[in-house]
Amino acid sequence: MTAQTDTTGSVTTVYKVSGMSCGHCEGAVSGELSQLSGVSSVTAVASTGEVTVVSTAPLDDETVRAAVDEAGFELAGRA
């Protein structure tokens, strides 16, 4: 499980999301996660199934799971 705090006080967490296969999928997941409180950056990569989220504080896994579900995909856990 990966969660890392950098010197600016932001937290970077990498999640595994199953079902993404294209840029549209990446955009759907990124869009939902970007709406979460404290999230400053989201990068989704369909080819690896990894989604990198930068936030001001650690995110609740269930909140992330709900956002990914809303986008139509499944959170497999943290990378």
Half-sphere exposure for 41 (CA within 13 Å, toward CB)? 8
Contacts of 20 (CB under 8 A, 6+ apart): 26, 29, 44, 46, 49, 73
Using one digit for the tens of pLDDT, what is the confidence trace for 58-75? Answer: 999 999 999 999 999 999
Q: Which domain holds residue 27?
A: 2-78
Question: What is the domain count for the chain?
Answer: 1
29 membership: H or E segment, kind and range: helix 23-34
Rounded to the nearest 5°, which phi and psi values hold at 69?
-60, -40
CATH of the domain at 23: 3.30.70.100
Tens-place pLDDT, residues 34-51: 999 999 999 999 999 999
Model confidence, pTM: 0.89
Residue 17 burial class via C-beta count within 10 angstroms: exposed 0-12, middle 13-18, buried 19 and up? buried
